[in-house]
Structure 1
Amino acid sequence: MEYNCAFGIDVSKASMNVAILVNKHQVDAVILPMNQQGFSSLKAKLASFKQPIVVFEATGIYSRRLKFFLDSQRINYVYLNPLRAKKQLDKLRSFKSDQVDAFRLAETQFILSRKPSYKMDPAYQELMDMSRFYQELVKDSIAHKNRLHRVLQLTFPELEQAESQPSGNFYWYLVEHYANPQKVCQSSPDQILNSIPVQVKKSFFLSNQRLSRIIERLVKLARQAYPVVTEHSYVYHQISYLARQLKTENQMKNKIIKQMIQLAKSFKEYDELLSIPGFGKETVVSLIGELGDLRRFRSSNALNAFVGINLRHYESGNYVAADRISKRGNPIARKILFKSIQSIASAAHYHPNHINDFYQKRKKQFSSSSGTKKIAIATMHRLLRTMYHLVKYDQFYDYDIARS
């Protein structure tokens, strides 16, 4: 579709520079605030032209306000990747300013005839926001676990052996209330057991027999401890605080995942991606949250570039550098996909799949550990192609079809 009017908008934190071009000629330029008043003025200007198209860069959280406004007004727009915009604009501008960038964005629309960006269902954006919050909680939990481990070395490091794994809500309850080994030694196992509230026992689904074993082990470990701080040290307040934070974060993570699953069930691709062997509900909703609607990508190669695992090749004269992935993409999606490869390999014992076949074949070819990451990246390529195919053609995973 040909457009005779283009709005180039350079978005910043508090304002947007707007350049309006009609048939390649600038007819207006204005700076508007990024608030209700500014968007009302922009709405009036857009309404004064027939079928305008808006071109702007994806500048993170700031450009989302403009994108939301244009979606609500059903205005076609081109949502440019910043790197792509830089390459397209650098050929034309001799110097850089916000006003020039706005003008060049509109001007290049007449030269390049970019197609309007694919408009995703708002539910995908909601799922992405939930996924980002979940990932932030994961990051915070790791930091708090490391801090807790460090301060426990001053008081009761043996406490980490009380449970099979030093994590989980009950372990953090023990840390919060029994990080002082002297306090534990002054009580008998029965006294400690009786001091735990009934509602706490029910919430952790622990039988009295298992709980008794944990408490007995706790008392035994406390007698071996050698704290290097006094009984009234402020370190114990820090330990209680960290344990409470970890417990709260764990509960919030579980709550978010449940809500993400509930929301993702409304997407057709939820069940299609869940059919891939080794993919669990948490993996599927996290990937949908990070990748969005896969139908908007023109090919699986474009999806690779979005994730940042597309290869970069450099060759000059007789020198040929080793190919490396660009890493110009979504690092969270790369992390989830990388972990998924191990899950797929584990699931292959019971649910064979062509992705694991490829992974195991490459591992035999590269016996050295130096090629492990390269093999995983190559397998991620194959996994993304599979995901893209299933979603685009509304299919469920079938090993016989995939293998052929």
Structure 2
Amino acid sequence: MSHHPSKSFRKKTTRRKSRKNLQESTSSGAEIEIIRYGVGLDVHKENIVVSVAAQTAQNLIVQIRTHKFRNHPQGLQELTRFLQKYQPVSHYLMECTGIYHRPVYHALEDAFPNLKAKIIAMNPLLVHRKLTNLGNKHDKADAQGMAELSFYNRLIRPSYVGTPEFFHLRDTLRNYKYAKKEANKHVNRIHRVLCSVNFMHRFNLHHEWELHLLDFMIATKGPIKRAFKAMVESSQLEKRSISSLMKHQEDYVPYFNIELPKASRFNLRQLVIQYLQAETNAAQYLLQTEKLILKDAEFEHCYLQLLRIPCVGQISALSIITELGDFRRFVNWKAFAKYCGVVPEIKESGGTFTASHINRFTNTHLRTALSQIAMLYVNGYAKGTDLAIFAHRQRVLRQLPFKKAVMRVAQKLSRIIYQVLVNNLTYDASYEQTKAKIQRLQRRNTKHGTMLESPHTRSLRRDISQLLVTNSQYMTSKSRFFLVKGFQQLIRKANSVELEGTELNSKKNKV
């Protein structure tokens, strides 16, 4: 069966005209009653695609208009003027697109100060989970999908968008981290140039004397031995200490006969200059961040409270404060730990719960800071504190892999930080041990009527401690821990038997 091409073409034009007439009729609002509007914005580096949808009295959602604006100051003014005629509005919904959504978000806040609660920037992953339209993906379809999604309040989960001052503070500390990474790259390039001439010793440029030695190697022609002697003579003339240099002299003796070529010395000179410049920039960024933190009374209090936690240094505390922003927006510690990225994804199917991998679509800087602090605890730092004992229990006793033990400690650390920041509590590093000791004494008092140990139990404790000290060379950390646990049970048993014996003697005397 054949079809005439002109006939099919006329059918297409009538369909397009009917769609155009439907859009014009809905935009005029003459045939249907519009209750409210929904606005979806697909923000890009250069363009902003805006789609306006309407909800009718029959609870139908129809597309009203789609328009494209330029993403610059004049385009933002045109955008706000365009949206003023669509009132009342359910939400202005957009995706968090790195840094491009911030000017649009703040422009809408300035244009509609009474509707700040309705301006929503949402996680792109959550947006695309809610939108199930199949077909070709393009900017217009994304904006229309977000315009329709703006009517469903329960599906909208706004992301945190801080003030411009907060973003400047956060970017300052992030620039410090980027500068430190750049400095490490220059150190690796310096090592690569030295390895090309068979000089395999790696310089630690954080030590001033090694940096001076590298400077003498670059400036002195001839073998490295000559540069070493020149540095020793210069240090003696300037009355500087050479103890560190002489202590590590044996590390450089195998390379004394190596002579750096002219091209290698030129490359090393440029790399050292770039390294020093990167280190200077990093120090300035860090100093500026701390100054801004100390100017704010609330941030200063949080900064000092975080420094009370063992293994939390200045850079880690600054990272936590600058990455969190408004930390009171979290409902509980679980939401806080999930935002920090130290909680595994939980999947449930048919009543079976399984823990998956760590959610990596979270704040990477916070997860890195907490993981680095947790690594110190797992590696044995701050012994005797609650977190160190918890880390020892996870790594040594439960024999968890290193990364799993680190995540467990990081999760517990996130709970502590939440209590310190949100509930304004002062951290006590031995709180859990003190609490357990008091509870143990109270149980002993309620059960036996005294908190003191008997003379027999004290002598038994002395014998056990002497046994552990004299045979410590035969024990590992794990075996020592289990022996101590077993001896503690023995002491508790002896204490209870002694008290039971005194009760029996008192009953016999009464009889």
1:260: how far off? 1.4
SS at match of 2:170: helix
- Which structure has more relative contact order (CA 8 Å, sep 6+)? It is 1
The answer for the alignment partner of 1:153 in structure 2 is 195
8 Å contact from structure 1 (residues 8, 106) kept in 2: yes
State which of 266, 271, 282 in structure 2 corresponds to 1:237.
266
For normalisation by structure 1, the TM-score amounts to 0.81
1:275: how far off? 2.7
Counterpart residue type for residue 339 of structure 1: Q
The answer for the alignment partner of 1:365 in structure 2 is 397
The answer for the alignment partner of 2:445 in structure 1 is none
1:48 and 2:85 matched: yes
Counterpart residue type for residue 103 of structure 1: Q
8 Å contact from structure 1 (residues 148, 239) kept in 2: yes
1:389: how far off? 2.3
SS at match of 1:398: coil
Supply the distance in 2 between the matched residues of 1:51 and 1:130 (Cα, whole angstroms).
39
SS at match of 2:150: helix
Unmatched runs of 5 consecutive residues or more in structure 1: 202-207
Distance 1:305 1:188, change over 3 A: closer
The answer for the alignment partner of 1:172 in structure 2 is 211
| Corresponding residue pairs, total | 382
Supply the distance in 1 between the matched residues of 2:228 and 2:139 (Cα, whole angstroms).
71
Unmatched runs of 5 consecutive residues or more in structure 2: 1-34, 56-60, 436-511
1:299 and 2:337 matched: no
The answer for the alignment partner of 2:137 in structure 1 is 96
Counterpart residue type for residue 264 of structure 1: I
Distance 1:275 1:120, change over 3 A: farther
Counterpart residue type for residue 287 of structure 1: I
The answer for the alignment partner of 2:95 in structure 1 is 57
8 Å contact from structure 2 (residues 47, 69) kept in 1: yes
Supply the distance in 1 between the matched residues of 2:199 and 2:217 (Cα, whole angstroms).
12
SS at match of 1:99: helix
State which of 56, 66, 69 in structure 1 corresponds to 2:107.
69
Distance 1:314 1:43, change over 3 A: closer
Supply the distance in 2 between the matched residues of 1:371 and 1:224 (Cα, whole angstroms).
40
Alignment of 1:111-126 (within 5 A): 111-113=152-154, 114=156, 117-126=159-168
Give the share of equivalent positions with the same residue, in percent: 22
8 Å contact from structure 2 (residues 344, 358) kept in 1: yes
8 Å contact from structure 2 (residues 51, 147) kept in 1: yes
1:82 and 2:120 matched: no
Counterpart residue type for residue 131 of structure 1: L
Supply the distance in 1 between the matched residues of 2:361 and 2:201 (Cα, whole angstroms).
43
1:99: how far off? 0.9
Distance 1:105 1:143, change over 3 A: same
Supply the distance in 2 between the matched residues of 1:187 and 1:13 (Cα, whole angstroms).
53
Q: Which moved more, 1:292-301 or 1:27-36?
A: 292-301
State which of 208, 213, 222 in structure 2 corresponds to 1:182.
222
Aligned-residue CA RMSD (Å)? 3.5
Deviations 1:201-256 (A, max 9, x none): 8xxxxxx341x44566798876642666x654311111111212222222222221
State which of 364, 372, 387 in structure 2 corresponds to 1:355.
387
State which of 289, 293, 296 in structure 2 corresponds to 1:264.
293
Counterpart residue type for residue 153 of structure 1: C
The answer for the alignment partner of 1:253 in structure 2 is 282
Supply the distance in 1 between the matched residues of 2:76 and 2:246 (Cα, whole angstroms).
66
8 Å contact from structure 2 (residues 374, 407) kept in 1: no
SS at match of 1:340: helix
Deviations 1:286-344 (A, max 9, x none): 12223333222333333333333332345779999763222222233222211111445
